[in-house]
Structure 1
Amino acid sequence: MRLRYSATGVVAASVAVALVLGFPTNWKKAPVPEALAVISDWQPASLQEPVAPVQLLTVLSSTAVEPETVGWSPEPPARPVFDFASFKAALPVQTWSGTLSTGETLDSLLSTAGLSAPDRAEVALALAAEYDLRKLKPGYTLEVETSPSGFLRRVVLSVDAGVQIEGVFAEEIATRKIVPEPDLVLRAADTTVETSIFATLASAGIPPRFAVDMAEMLGGTVDFRRDLTGGEKLQLMWREATLGDQVIRQPRLSFAALTINEALFEIVWPDDNSGNATIFVDGELLRVFAQPVKGARLSSVYGNRRHPVYGDVRMHTGVDFAAPHGTPVYTTAPGRISFIGRRGGYGRVIEVTHGTDTMTRYAHLSSVPESLAIGDRVAAGDNIGRVGATGTATGPNLHYEVRVDGRPTDPMSEERLAEAASAAGPNPNVHARLKNSRTQLSGLLDQGVTKAKSERL
């Protein structure tokens, strides 16, 4: 029985292998109906893009949205920023004001105003950003604004020349320096010399330092101690920068006329700060004085004087020109730079040699151009530095010296000023300036007042 089943399995397997290997068959297929063949061959047509434009979609019944922005959603409105400054400005203000007295500090004055220690420290830092608090002097005023609850809002420090330092304390602290725009007032005076020009000016209410300015110009020509005997006619015209009734700057002479022994000496200072004053005798040009610092004020002349720092009387070997820190300094004559550096009490110095025997020295400089070097040639009027207070000096000024064969000479002497006039050359406008000055002075004096119309600087 078992043997028969085995034989049957072998036969079946043989038939299957024959079929797989392609054993030939003659089986026939039945024909496919025509309708069924057509259906089997059918394929759908390709899709075409629509011809009509896509209509805008209406969002929320009113907003037209392009197809590509269908997924867009509007941003929420920005959160409004609260204006703290305007809010505080609308609050009521309490104002306190005080004046710095001798020996008082800024901190003690702020304490008197009722500010807390943190607020006082904040005020000091804010003001120091615009002003050197080491320069505070008695008489300066302080104004403090606070809210009724004591919140610090504003501080104003008033210093010299009408300048104010303002600090505003809001979300951010803001500090600024307020420099007022002064008026330029023209004044004139007609007086008679008594014992000295200095005493005459002081008694007439005219700035006494004008005596120094005149000595600068007429030194070497007029000996004020010997030639002035009293009764000489003196006329002056000058400008003052004012804020209201307060003079906030040093006045500057514009014109001076002095009659000595029937000789009329006239001095015209330029209005353009060129520094070149002209001196006339009886209407004829005597000389031109070219200053190394344009528009500067002569603060000390050549000769024996009481030293402003040490207090003793000693020889002053040059002249000093007071001017703001950083004012340009110019050479007075062509030459060659022979020294750049420091010399004791002179501070930072530049020395220029002129020929073999003459040297000019410019001292107390704050800076010197890096491009300058020893041996460089310079022309008259070249910038060689800036005014400073280096060395032994009480404030920014230029100490100017002229040395001949190593010995100091008066830069304002007749010989030195004549050389300056020669170097300046003829100027056809000098006589026109003299005529204009005479006319202006006469007009002011005819008004019967010592104050003319105010002009904006």
Structure 2
Amino acid sequence: MKLGLVAAFAIGTGFALALVLGFQTIWNKPPAPQAIARVADWQPSQMQILGSLDKSPSSVFVETVELAPVLRDYDPPTPPDLNIALPQIAPPTLIWSGEISAGETLDALLSKAGLSARDRAEVALALEAEYDLRRLKPGYRLEVETSTLGALQRVVLSVEAGVQIEAVFLDRITTRRITPEPELIEHAADTTVQTSISATLASAGIPARFAVDLAEMLGGTVDFRRDLKGGERLQLMWRETMVGDEMIAQPSLSFATLTVDESIYEIIWPEDDSGNATIMIDGELLRVFAQPVNGARLSSVYGNRRHPIYGDIRMHTGVDFAAPRGTPVYATAPGRISYIGQRGGYGLVVEIAHGSDTMTLYSHLDSVPNELSVGQRLSAGDNIGRVGSTGTATGPNLHYEVRVDGRPTNPMTEDFLASAEGQIDKRADILPRLESLRAQFTALLDLDDPHSNPERL
């Protein structure tokens, strides 16, 4: 009896404990999502059998079962688009850059970049396809791009005038010349001469090289030391060729006016860079100067000077034009070639006879065209050679002389260059051009900023 009571008590206690634990579990369990609850509550519609079971199977059919609401409303996810283009990730590269020094070769610079002999040879061949490597100069820059494993990928050679030669080494080697589009910017200045032309230009922020250009044009007409006392009016208009913020060529004068006493000298430089500048005085043609080397710097004038090599004082019988080796040299007046060859300290020389009493001499030449011959007739502006440093010379330059009756004379004072070709008659259009330049100069001065008149080349 007692055992039965104990057993019944144990069973009751266990049942009660199970109920408590069950209710606690249900109480603590989070509610089911609504979608799952709807699925749990769903029941299929009652199937209706039409007809009698004893009929043929074809006459018995079942009503379509209603789909569960959750499944009917279910919108399956859209699979990802496997055709989406992935971003291109460039492989890591190493870039080396350097500058060609005086006396340094391209091969030596490429060796500094760590290229093998085979790669250096390939680079030279690729660049040579677009650029004559014999024209390399100190200051040219080289950029070499390689992979992290050392494989050559790209080389860029930056040369003169902002031009770049690019060689790409991928599946095949391709080379191209990249030429930037330059801007031609015009400037104008109206100033007063101080102690000298050079000091005047420096104080006004005008390129100092224009002092040489003015001396070249007016040296035989105006004595800058004696005639300029200070206070003379000087007006200049010039061009600068720019790529971005970099000037890629020497600035060049297009128009200049100098008032000395009561005389007004006006100089008109040509638009075609031929070097044949026209000099006017009080609106009348004075003379035309035909320059033998375009864009050159007048490095030494006619007269006594200390010899740059021997150190003593000697008579300099011509004028020197400093210019890069290979710059073309032109005949300054029509005539016949009287001599081609070596002549002592003059080096390689071309002499041209202009009539019976006048001769021009061009020396230190690097080369002469093969088709040139003694006795050949030339016109002003014909190419007769290239600037060099043959003979007694400290560097590439053209020594230019004018001799009358065998005696050297100052080339800056000789008027035969204007009259020998009848250039005065051919300059009938000079007055309209002079008026145009005067108006252009005035318009530039009226601008608040002369730099704001760019013209695309």
Q: TM-score, normalised by structure 2?
A: 0.69
Question: How many Å separate the matches in 1 of 2:98 and 2:364?
Answer: 34
Question: How many Å separate the matches in 2 of 1:280 and 1:99?
Answer: 49
> Cα gap change, 1:332/1:112 in structure 2, threshold over 3 Å: closer, same or farther?
closer
Question: How many Å separate the matches in 2 of 1:225 and 1:175?
Answer: 55
> Cα gap change, 1:266/1:415 in structure 2, threshold over 3 Å: closer, same or farther?
same
The answer to whether the 8 A contact 2:367-2:388 is kept is no
Q: Which residue of the partner structure matches residue 216 of structure 2? A: 216
Q: Which residue of the partner structure matches residue 260 of structure 1? A: 260
**CA drift at 1:292:** 3.6
The answer to whether the 8 A contact 1:93-1:145 is kept is no
Stretches of structure 1 lacking an aligned partner (at least 5 in a row): 1-88
1:159 aligns with 2:159: yes
1:277 aligns with 2:277: yes
The one-letter code sitting in structure 2 at the alignment partner of 1:132 is L
Q: What's the CA shift string for 1:377-397, capped at 9, x where partnerless? A: x25426252323151456655
The answer to whether the 8 A contact 2:290-2:333 is kept is no
Q: Which residue of the partner structure matches residue 207 of structure 2? A: 207
Q: TM-score, normalised by structure 1?
A: 0.69
* Segment of structure 1 superposing worse, 267-276 or 167-176: 167-176
Question: How many Å separate the matches in 1 of 2:211 and 2:420?
Answer: 22
Alignment of 1:10-21 (within 5 A): none
The answer to whether the 8 A contact 1:288-1:420 is kept is no
Q: Which residue of the partner structure matches residue 85 of structure 2? A: none
The answer to whether the 8 A contact 2:322-2:397 is kept is yes
Q: Which residue of the partner structure matches residue 339 of structure 1? A: 339
Q: What's the CA shift string for 1:352-402, capped at 9, x where partnerless? A: 2234432211223444444443334x2542625232315145665543211
* Segment of structure 1 superposing worse, 113-122 or 173-182: 113-122
Question: How many Å separate the matches in 2 of 1:255 and 1:121?
Answer: 49
Q: Which residue of the partner structure matches residue 191 of structure 2? A: 191
**CA drift at 1:348:** 2.5
Secondary structure at the residue paired with 1:225?
coil
Q: Which residue of the partner structure matches residue 227 of structure 1? A: 227
The answer to whether the 8 A contact 1:194-1:230 is kept is yes
**CA drift at 1:178:** 3.4
> Cα gap change, 1:414/1:373 in structure 2, threshold over 3 Å: closer, same or farther?
closer
Q: Which residue of the partner structure matches residue 251 of structure 1? A: 251
Q: Which residue of the partner structure matches residue 391 of structure 1? A: 390
> Cα gap change, 1:132/1:92 in structure 2, threshold over 3 Å: closer, same or farther?
same
The answer to whether the 8 A contact 1:213-1:298 is kept is yes
Q: Which residue of the partner structure matches residue 375 of structure 1? A: 375
**CA drift at 1:245:** 1.1
Q: What's the CA shift string for 1:145-183, capped at 9, x where partnerless? A: 222433210011223432323222234444444343321
**CA drift at 1:219:** 1.6
Q: Which residue of the partner structure matches residue 51 of structure 2? A: none
The answer to whether the 8 A contact 2:418-2:424 is kept is no
The answer to whether the 8 A contact 1:221-1:414 is kept is no
Q: Which residue of the partner structure matches residue 91 of structure 2? A: 92
Secondary structure at the residue paired with 1:435?
helix
Secondary structure at the residue paired with 2:216?
helix
* Segment of structure 1 superposing worse, 230-239 or 341-350: 341-350
Alignment of 1:32-431 (within 5 A): 91-100=90-99, 110=110, 113=113, 115-116=115-116, 118-120=118-120, 122-123=122-123, 126-127=126-127, 130-132=131-133, 135-137=136-138, 139-293=139-293, 298-305=298-305, 314-321=314-321, 329-376=329-376, 378-381=377-380, 383=382, 385-392=384-391, 393=393, 397-416=397-416, 419=419, 423-425=423-425, 427-431=427-431
> Cα gap change, 1:101/1:270 in structure 2, threshold over 3 Å: closer, same or farther?
closer
Q: How many residues align?
A: 367
Alignment RMSD (CA, Å) = 3.4
Q: What's the CA shift string for 1:197-247, capped at 9, x where partnerless? A: 012212322111111111111122100011111122111111111111111
Q: What's the CA shift string for 1:171-196, capped at 9, x where partnerless? A: 44444443433211111112221111
Question: How many Å separate the matches in 2 of 1:405 and 1:100?
Answer: 51
Question: How many Å separate the matches in 1 of 2:96 and 2:89?
Answer: 21
* Segment of structure 1 superposing worse, 252-261 or 92-101: 92-101
The answer to whether the 8 A contact 2:100-2:141 is kept is no
Question: How many Å separate the matches in 2 of 1:308 and 1:93?
Answer: 54
The answer to whether the 8 A contact 2:366-2:390 is kept is no
